[in-house]
Amino acid sequence: MTLGRFAGVNAGYVLELYERYRHNPESVDPATRAAFEKWNPAELEGTTSEPASAPASANVRAVVAATILADSIRRYGHLAAQLDPLGSPPIGDPSLSPETYEISADDLKQLPGSLVGGPVAETSATAYEAIEKLRRVYCSSTGFDYSHIFVPEERDWLRHAAESGRFLPPLDPESSDALLARMTQVEVFERFLQRTFPGKTRFSLEGLDMLVPILDEIISGAAETGARHAVIGMAHRGRLNVLAHILEKPYEQILAEFKDPVVAERLRVDLGWMGDVKYHAGARTSTPRGHTFVTMPPNPSHLEAVNPVVVGMARAAGTYVDEGGAGGFRSAATLPVLIHGDAAFPGQGIVAETLNLSRLDGYDTGGTIHIIANNQLGFTATPDESYSTSYASGLARGFKIPIVHVNADDPAACLEAARLAWEYRGRFQRDFLIDLVGYRRHGHNEGDEPAFTQPLMYKKIATHPTVREQFARTLIAQGAQTPQSVETIVKTHYTVLELALASLKPEEDLEPPVAEPAPPGAASRAETAVPLERLRQINEGLQQAPPAFTFHKKLERARERRKSVLNNPDERTIDWSTAEELALASILADGVAVRLTGEDVERGTFSQRHAVFHDAETGARFVPLQTFPQASAAFEIHNSPLSEAGVVGFEFGYNIQEPDRLVIWEAQYGDFINGAQVIIDQFVTSGRSKWGLQPSLVFLLPHGHEGQGPEHSSARPERFLQSAADINMRVMNCTTAAQYFHLLRRQAALLRRDPLPLVVLTPKSLLRHPLVASTPKELAEGRFRSVIDDSDARQRVSSVRRLVLCSGKVYVDLVSSERRQVSSNVAICRVEQLAPFPRVALREVLDGYPSLEEVVWLQEEPENMGAWDWVRGQLVETIQDQFSLRYIGRVRSASPSEGSSAWHQINQRRLVDEAFTLDSGDINEPTVLSKAVQSLAAFKR
Ligand SMILES: Cc1ncc(C[n+]2csc(CCOP(=O)(O)OP(=O)(O)O)c2C)c(N)n1
């Protein structure tokens, strides 16, 4: 044989080794050196055009083969690791076998251990011994999967950590006893619930029991390294066990939830607080472990949706904002841990979105520890049906996350993986993943029959001893325990649970998480005006650029104009973006930190914001909201990655963790919010009712029909309004810069007193429109108005027969119409706040028109979209039978708007014409023009 056997990758390796030797013979070990002294590299097939001249020395072959074998074990050893506790054989790989390289055990015994390198070499006389040790490290019950890590320092560290075994737990008598006790507690908890509440859903952890000791190890590690907060996110599987034993949720509470007593006054169904099932509840430890508090946010059934929420919480917990500037983040202060399902991790896109946040400036948490609770099934689906990657964890490879696959029946290996995870995270501030491979003792839930679909697997499971039983047997064999002592531990844990059950008073022990309602009127009383003098000082501060900063020419002109924007209190100089900047600056000056994110928010989708300037010569950044002297809290602004679900989930988490900060997310166009629909439905709009959370996240959603087609017209307000209930959010569609100013300031003022998510439909073309602009005086006086009456019509109230109610941009279309001037019998009132519906304010407006006959709701959205479905019911109750009620707007449609700009104009014009035409039909009767549009559409079909 020639060394041609090692062509390709292996040849490269040999040549590299040879080059090293040529350069400095001392740089390779003596055996390799001796071999190379006699070797001709031209023997490598394909590496030279010269024919192979001399046969290779057997010694060289063996050296190279041994080196490659060791390298293969390090890279691919995980393929031969026994990961499945149920005994299915690993797939293996030919590269792990010496025969592949045509060397024998004897050959290896002739070579020195040093050839293999690493810690195993230090204690091995021969290469054979060292390779056997490598096999024990890489091919036993742990699969170290880190060859995809590109940073050499990290790879070397991981390699050394694995091969030195320095993170293997000592498992001395004391720690073994403690571990056995913990495993018993975990197992008995599930068995007790099964016995006491047979068939009741609890999504038992059994088969992955080591999850709890793994979390113990990770949290102690975090505590040791000074973390103040550990935030754990997980779905249903094993959640009750983790709540009980990691979050220290009292057994009484959990048992009371199983009893499920009806305590109506506690649930406050009258206020819309409906609660949630027990395996979605969150918790927080009341006392810290060391300095570390552990939190688990509640989560919905939607698997993995909690991922970005947890990461956002961890980011917020580690972010300090107490002074002006950009704030800062301390990764050691906080630790996110995410527990995933083996089917959900590869299947749900939000996992990839969250992983993608991990190394981005505004989102980095200093590393998340991921654990896949891998029971080898997803409901009834097998791995073959669930993922296209080799392992459930495959996605993590692309993000260069080290992966450790570990057999859940090997306690020491599990604890080693946990220790490796937190040590690596602490050292490199990067994500780490443990693929904990176990099984599921019962069906998907406890009422489910798994043998219908997995008969063979469940035959094995039926006779498979639990990890506690196996560990106890080992300890008994070692003489460290006796069967009686093991039984006593079991009994002790049963007794604790039995006592808790015996003394249970379910009605009292049940503590549904409800948020107290805000004091009435908190929102309407909030003071939001800022004296003109203060605004001028702040504005001046915002104009102070760093010395010698070169602005882009166009921006420089705009900045010049900004300097005088507050000079004349009565001039309409404040456009939307100026109002926004002054609102944010005044909020920061009041000591409330602000975080603003979204796609391209630094500049603004419509080039309107310019919160970050880039020096035209040097590219240096200048962020006025971070440098103005009056700021007493930090301003964070980040262009987000191109994600909706992931980033909205993240901001939601950030917001609930640090509710005193104003957190704002802006959509590129409002439409894209539907990419985050799961987060909106499952967390934002229902989180208070289900879990007593009090989010106050702000959504800026560009909205309005401007002829751009179905995809850039609507932020789908109907979706928010459909889930609007008295206590869950505010939805706004305001029409002036001053209204926006007061709205943002009011939100900041209400963060403590009356927090609610705020949805603002924001303008696009109107950002710079003179009719939207406000005067400085309007910022310096007054407050947000939920309804704005028609000030022109106040002079002619008795001639008004029709009141047109509208919201947002269409108002500008109406008042810009030439018919407005000649329609004295029509008044136009803006409903700036859609939810909660401002009935009282509207009633006052209605009462101001003595000759009123008809109320019209006018919108530019199709009839089945926009606010109509929501306001119709509200209006019917507000106006009773006093006036007739009519709808003007686009006809029902499957998409939000027409694709043609010309059709848009026709439809828009029709709306405006109809608003001023008093004699057309009844509420449900399509108007002449809309009928024409419909018949044209039918004709086209
Ligand atoms: C987004 C979403 N789709 C579907 C479901 C229904 N569902 C609940 S559990 C489950 C299987 C999950 O399997 P896996 O991720 O392996 O976790 P396991 O239940 O095995 O612990 C499915 C499909 C869900 N809860 N969420």
Q: How do residues 764-776 score in pLDDT, each as one tens digit?
A: 989 999 999 999 9
pLDDT in tens, 258-278: 988 777 666 666 666 678 887
Amino acid at 490: V
pLDDT of residue 10: 52
Banded model confidence at residue 934, pLDDT cuts 50, 70, 90: low
Q: Pick the residue whose CA is nearest to atom 10 on ligand 1.
A: 379
pLDDT greater than 60 at residue 2: no
Query: What is the pLDDT of the chain when averaged over all its residues?
Result: 91
Question: Which ligand 1 atom sits nearest the alpha carbon of residue 440?
Answer: 20
Q: Which of 26-30, 78-82, 188-192, 694-698 has the lowest mean pLDDT?
A: 26-30
What is the rounded average pLDDT of the residues 71-100?
97
Whether 378 lines ligand 1, by a CB cut-off of 6 Å, is yes
Q: Is the CB of 277 under 6 A from ligand 1?
A: no
Residue 341 near ligand 1, beta carbon < 6 Å: yes
Cα separation, 446 vs 454, in Å, equals 15
* Contacting residues for 718 by C-beta, under 8 A, at least 6 apart: 861, 864, 865, 866, 867, 869, 870
Q: Which atom of ligand 1 is nearest to the CA of 304?
A: 1
Q: Is any ligand 1 atom within 6 A of the Cβ of residue 301?
A: yes
| pLDDT score at 365 | 97
Query: What is the average pLDDT across 849-867?
Result: 97
Q: Is 80 exceeded by the pLDDT of residue 255?
A: yes
Other CB atoms closer than 10 Å to residue 892's CB: what's the count? 12
Whether 761 shows a pLDDT value over 90: the answer reads yes
Closest atom of ligand 1 relative to the 305 alpha carbon: 1
Q: Which long-range contacts (CB under 8 A, 24 or more apart) does 560-564 make?
A: 563/539
Name the residue among 506, 511, 505 with its Cα closest to residue 691. 511
Q: How far is the CA of 82 from the centre of ligand 1 (A)?
A: 26
Identify the helix (H) or strand (E) that includes residue 826.
strand 826-831
Segment 344-357 mean pLDDT: 98
For residues 95-102, give the mean pLDDT: 94
Instruction: Tell me: pLDDT of 56 over 90.
Output: no
Q: How confident is the model at residue 6 (pLDDT cuts 50, 70, 90)?
A: very low
CA dist list (Å): 85 to 207, 213, 524:
9, 17, 62
pLDDT given for residue 522 in this prediction: 85
- For residue 351 and ligand 1, the question of a CB distance below 6 A is answered with no
Give the ligand 1 atom nearest the CA of 303. Answer: 26
Closest-lying ligand 1 atom to the alpha carbon of residue 238 = 21
Q: 518 or 833: whose pLDDT is higher?
A: 833
CA of 201 to the centre of ligand 1 (A): 14
Q: Are 673 and 715 in contact (CB under 8 A)?
A: yes
Range 24-48 average pLDDT = 66
304 lines ligand 1 (CB under 6 A): no
pLDDT at residue number 80: 98
**pLDDT value of residue 506:** 79
pLDDT at 524: 86
- Residue 658 has what pLDDT? 97
Q: Choose the residue to mutate in 277, 303, 435, 683 for probing ligand 1, maximizing ligand atoms within 8 Å of C-beta.
A: 303
State the distance from the centre of ligand 1 to the C-alpha of 215, rounded, in angstroms.
22
* Dist. CA 218–CA 352, nearest whole Å: 23
Distance (Å) from CA 465 to ligand 1 centroid: 26
pLDDT score of 499: 97
Give the pLDDT of residue 265.
65
Pocket test for ligand 1, best of 379, 393, 440, 448 (most atoms within 8 A of CB): 379
What was the pLDDT predicted at 14? 67
Peptide bond into 519 cis (omega under 30): no
Q: Scanning the structure block, which residue is given the tokens 């704030």?
A: 327
Token pair recorded at residue 52: 């192979």
Are 796 and 824 in contact by the 8 Å Cβ rule? The answer is yes
| Gap between the Cα atoms of 371 and 375, Å rounded | 12
At 447, the pLDDT band (50, 70, 90 cuts) reads confident
Q: How far is the CA of 468 from the centre of ligand 1 (A)?
A: 27
Task: Give the pLDDT confidence score for residue 928 in this predicted structure.
Answer: 44
Partners of 621 in beta bridges? 614
> Which ligand 1 atom sits closest to the C-alpha of 344?
15
What pLDDT sits at residue 289? 81
> What is the distance, to the nearest Å, from the Cα of residue 711 to the centroid of all Cα atoms in its chain?
25
pLDDT at 83: 98
pLDDT of residue 41: 59
Count of beta carbons in the 10 Å neighbourhood of residue 470: 16
513-527, 616-630, 906-920: which is most confident:
616-630
Q: Which residues of 418-453 are buried (b: 16+ CB within 10 A; e: fewer)?
A: bbbbbbbbbebebbbbbbbbbbbbbbbbbeeebeeb
What pairs with residue 143 in β-bridges? 405
Contact between 768 and 576 (Cβ < 8 Å): yes
pLDDT (average), residues 459-475: 98
Atom of ligand 1 at shortest range from CA of 379: 11
Sequence-distant (≥ 6) Cβ neighbours of residue 203 within 8 angstroms: 236, 237, 238, 239, 240, 279, 445, 446
Residue 677 CB–ligand 1 contact under 6 Å: no
Say how many Å lie between the CA of residue 445 and the centre of ligand 1. Answer: 11
Both tokens assigned to 225:
């390294």
Local confidence band at 25 (pLDDT 50, 70, 90 cut-offs): confident
- Which one has a higher pLDDT value, 264 or 831? 831
Q: Which atom of ligand 1 is nearest to the CA of 237?
A: 21
Neighbours of 837 (CB within 10 A): 24
Q: How far is the CA of 436 from the centre of ligand 1 (A)?
A: 17
Taking the centre of ligand 1 as the mean of its atom positions, its distance from the CA of residue 303, in whole angstroms, is 6
Ligand 1 centre and the CA of 344: distance in Å? 6
52 — pLDDT class (breaks 50, 70, 90): very low
Ligand 1 in reach of 302 Cβ (< 6 A):
yes
Res 42: pLDDT: 55
Q: Is 645 in the pocket of ligand 1 (CB under 6 A)?
A: no
pLDDT of residue 45: 42
> What pLDDT sits at residue 171?
86
| Other Cβ atoms closer than 10 A to 794 | 12
Q: Is the pLDDT at 806 greater than 90, yes or no?
A: yes
- Name the residue at shortest CA distance from atom 22 of ligand 1: 379
Report which protein residue has its CA nearest ligand 1's atom 15: 341
From the CB of 746, is ligand 1 less than 6 Å away? no
At 539, which amino acid appears? N
Query: In the predicted model, is pLDDT for residue 11 greater than 80?
Result: no
Cα–Cα dist 526/396, whole Å: 47
Report the distance separating Cα 444 and Cα 426, nearest Å: 35
Alpha helices in 788-923 (DSSP H): 810-816, 839-847, 868-879, 901-915
Question: Mind listing the pLDDT tens digit for each residue in 404-437?
Answer: 999 999 999 999 999 999 999 999 999 999 999 9
Alpha helices (runs of H) in 658-801, residue ranges in sequence order? 677-679, 687-691, 717-722, 737-753, 776-780
Tell me the pLDDT band of 830, cut-offs 50, 70 and 90. Answer: very high
Report whether pLDDT(583) > 80.
Answer: yes
| Type and span of the H or E element at 75 | helix 58-76
Cα separation, 216 vs 47, in Å, equals 54
* DSSP tag of 89: P
- Cα-to-centroid distance, 378 and ligand 1 (Å): 6
Ligand 1 centroid to Cα of residue 158, in Å, is 32
